[in-house]
Chain A
């Protein structure tokens, strides 16, 4: 059976544990050790929305494993501009590649693509929907740089529109993490998602202040308040720049505390924080490569 990677909800805790464990083996390859594991395989990347790190880390992962990458190129110059449906594009590209990485502005695009595809679909973000490879690399970062058991984590920023935090919170609920949600009132996590998390047995509390919890947590997961997700620019202006992680704020942090951010950041974390022992967001972006290696190898049936 084809193994698509669409949503964290398709994974059990055991499956996630296996992915994280396998990723350890790919780390040396991600750091440059030669491999020909996916030699002769072709990955197609279809990005209908701009992305740099996700696309580049998939390309790097594929190439460092000895595989090839083909690219749809800019959407405005492709058959999509001629009005081709995603369903048709997927069926055509599926004849050229062994797996397809898809980012699309519409929620549910990857799920639909999987219905039409004869090769595995890896969802690299569908609108405000899912972004499972980001979640897996976040979990891997937590495992490597902090701990997944008895984790106390605070998620801060845009918890309403931010797709990464929804997937991450869902996955963390499988690890029984103690989660604090920090956001301005208008960017709180939607009730329907909180309900799902509670159904999973998650322990969740909410606050609007980082200061409330900074001394008690293992991980602070910071997200950007994304301008492009706001229907109303005036609403964006009200909350832009509301949270800022400064060296001053970190004085109360525990010794083994870490800060994560899916990047790109704007001004949520001041650059002075980069030099502190707490910053892990650049390591986090590196871990995207070995995690995606694992997922590519899985999707192509090699591990």
Chain B
């Protein structure tokens, strides 16, 4: 979603909370309160050099309230943003070029997740000093992640297991 749409949102029309971006990615309709986890899952930390804007608990007609993340000068790949669906299943991705939305899609859970989550089983080989990246197969409804190493299933508290 671009800035125009946000400013047309009744409660926001007096003042633009976040300015439009020229190039980059806008992640909209993030479940309220999950914006920082979205950054975490995308691997965007305090050391990033990108201009990142975060709006939290923005009033939304559809969702009541939502979070928005804007990342300038970086177009996120579809498989990168699909991870976002783990914590914000309704999120939409807008790719912006020259202030225009050139691509817009909903996030969709991937079939497999690598290196995003930590296995819950402390005795799993993926929780050791071995050179191994965590890998899960994903069941979509209900959301369940199964460790391909130890078969342990994560079905609750998914955000707590983000690496």
Chain A residues proximal to chain B, CB less than 8 Å = 7, 85-87, 104-109, 111-112, 115, 126-129, 192
Contact = CB atoms under 8 A, between A and B. Distances in A.
B132 interface: yes
B151 A112 contact: no
Nearest to B144: A192
B130 A107 contact: no
Nearest to A192: B153
Contact of A112 (B129, B132, B152, B153): B132
B99 interface: no
Contacts of B130: 85-87, 112
A107 B151 contact: yes
Interface in B76-135: 121, 123-126, 128-132
A127 B123 contact: yes
A302 B126 CA distance: 33
A95 B108 CA distance: 43
A115 B152 CA distance: 19
10 shortest A-B CB distances, which residue pairs? Answer: A108-B149, A107-B150, A108-B125, A108-B150, A106-B125, A109-B125, A112-B125, A111-B149, A112-B132, A192-B153
Contacts of A192: 153
B151 A129 contact: yes
B148 interface: yes
A106 B123 contact: yes
Given A107-B125, A109-B125, A111-B125, A87 B131 contact: yes
B131 A108 contact: no
Nearest to B131: A87
B150 A129 contact: yes
Given A129-B150, A192-B153, A106 B124 contact: yes
Interface in B138-156: 147-153
6 contacts: A87-B132, A104-B125, A106-B123, A106-B128, A107-B125, A107-B150
Contacts of A115: 132
B114 to A, nearest CB: 12
A111 B148 contact: yes
Contact of A107 (B131, B132, B152, B153): B152
A107 B123 contact: yes
Q: Name which of A87, A105, A111 has the most chain B CB atoms within 10 A of its CB.
A: A111
A126 B147 CA distance: 14
A108 B124 contact: yes
Nearest to B147: A108
A112 B150 CA distance: 10
A107 B121 contact: yes
A230 B151 CA distance: 20
Contacts of A105: 123
A107 B129 contact: no
Contacts of B126: 108, 112
A106 B123 CA distance: 5
Interface string B54-76: 00000000000000000000000
A9 to B, nearest CB: 8
A110 B102 CA distance: 46
Given A127-B123, A127-B150, 20 more contacts: A7-B151, A85-B130, A85-B131, A87-B131, A105-B123, A106-B123, A106-B124, A107-B121, A107-B150, A108-B124, A108-B149, A111-B125, A111-B149, A112-B125, A112-B130, A126-B125, A126-B150, A129-B150, A129-B151, A192-B153
A112 B123 contact: no
A105 B129 CA distance: 14
B12 to A, nearest CB: 45
A166 B22 CA distance: 56
A129 B152 CA distance: 10
Nearest to B128: A106
Interface string B24-49: 00000000000000000000000000
